[in-house]
Chain A
């Protein structure tokens, strides 16, 4: 990794330069809640002024640009007794600016699932490879708990990563294309003074987090608490709405359906992201549902986040962004559920 300093004005020019040729996506304010809190979403920008890098969080994670909620996998048509199929991947380059560490860590986890298993997803890979990522450091967001899970900082998975030093950015560069792009504007080497300022900011950010819970025992605890009343209590509240997985930056489950034209000669295979809390998630042919109870579905979502994924990839799937809890009307949230699980441990 290389480090450089870029003045804020130069960074502005950089984004404006990019906007001339490329789609640039970043946090934009779309509304204000009734409590007066601004709501941000990662959306295409039409100018630098729309970019609000001081945002707290977004409702929808950046994953929607890598695993869209709905995606056309292929279109096909019958011609006589033959048929043809067309598959298109998204190849146009795109810039995502302003991603926080949790969203980049989430992409690193998705990379493991989508690019390294037996069946890598060309749909995901084409989007990932053609996305230029500019991350940014920030004060702890409201309701996040990334520091419990070690995802409050990130060392890979981006092209550039900014830390705000007031009048300038401290930039970590993690790709050749990131380095090349920076050459388009005035950058300079890091001085001792910059490093000192950078460390001060990092320390300030780190001290802004509330004391974390120790989640190292979670996989074991989850096994022990499989029949716990915790699941009945929280499960009774679940609306089976799937919002939690939809806004989770690391949830990737999906269903595929076929959309056939009304003259039966053409069609499309459409992929739709799905969620394990939805009623028919584990329903199989013949109608049997392996997880017909709400509490079972909710429980398995937590098992995948904090146990199943650990078994497969040696790390939890959750990055602690807090989005699932914020989007849940029933107030079901990982901090409290994890807290309840930890409370079952007899203190030694």
Chain B
């Protein structure tokens, strides 16, 4: 159906998974009320969560997961060479995600901790964008399916998509959610990009920053506030490094 004079063409979409939990892929199969329409708007040529076929050509590569091994680097380079549009899907792909936590540890100690005597090859965690050029980043742990739908629509129309510039706090107000700081809890909402409808604070949990920074994050002031609210430097920085998308404050 023609919208804004644009006749949508069905792009061929392929999904690729690297180091991560595959939760973002799974999320794509969610939002059942529009799943049929979603699958009709695009042509999925590769998607393990729905089918196991491995067909050839694609226009959009959705890449999930962080890059932590040499074979992953090679696979990713091959995908980049083949696709028109490469999208980093989810916080692992965008920032390295939780996997990035290991970068601050001694690699040998960490390897022994996880694999015991069966040591495995493992590189420091990198985001997809640290290895190849990324055309679009969709953050979130996991990504929000409604947001992915809107982004796919924009890719189909060829119109740039704008992520919310505002931080999560605004969405707390919009949903009548009590500020977690009022309850004596730490929350990264003032730094983190909104668009998730502040689901964590609404569910009684401070934000962990999975969506990366808002348009104008004020790190020094946030740090001052969190300190003044009684949180230690360590607590604050542990939280800030959790998904790898935010800066650590000195």
Interface residues of A, Cβ cutoff 8 Å to B: 30-31, 33-34, 39, 41, 43, 59-60, 64, 69-70, 78, 236-243, 246-247, 259-265, 267, 272-273, 275, 278-280, 283, 294, 327, 329-330
Contact = CB atoms under 8 A, between A and B. Distances in A.
B64 to A, nearest CB: 20
B153 A262 contact: yes
Most buried by A among B170, B175, B176: B170
B3 A260 contact: yes
B38 A243 contact: no
B214 interface: yes
Q: State which size class the interface on B falls in.
A: 35 or more
Interface in B65-120: none
A69 B182 CA distance: 22
Given A239-B190, A260-B153, A265-B1, A294 B170 contact: no
A243 B222 CA distance: 15
B121 interface: no
Nearest to B173: A246
B8 A264 contact: yes
Contacts of B225: 329-330
Contacts of B222: 239
Most buried by B among A31, A43, A241: A241
Contact of A242 (B2, B153, B169, B184): B169
Most buried by B among A33, A240, A273, A275: A240
Interface in B24-54: 34, 37-38, 40-41
Nearest to B7: A264
Contact of A238 (B37, B173, B218): B218
A236 B151 CA distance: 33
B216 interface: yes
A78 B1 CA distance: 8
Given A239-B169, A329-B225, A41 B176 contact: yes
Given A30-B178, A327-B173, A263 B218 contact: no
A275 B170 contact: yes
A272 B166 CA distance: 12
A279 B38 contact: no
B123 interface: no
A260 B146 CA distance: 11
B153 A240 contact: no
A34 B183 contact: yes
Contacts of B167: 239-242
Given A78-B1, A278-B166, A241 B221 contact: no
Nearest to A262: B37
B205 interface: no
Contacts of B221: 236-239, 330
B230 to A, nearest CB: 10
A294 B162 CA distance: 20
A69 B215 CA distance: 21
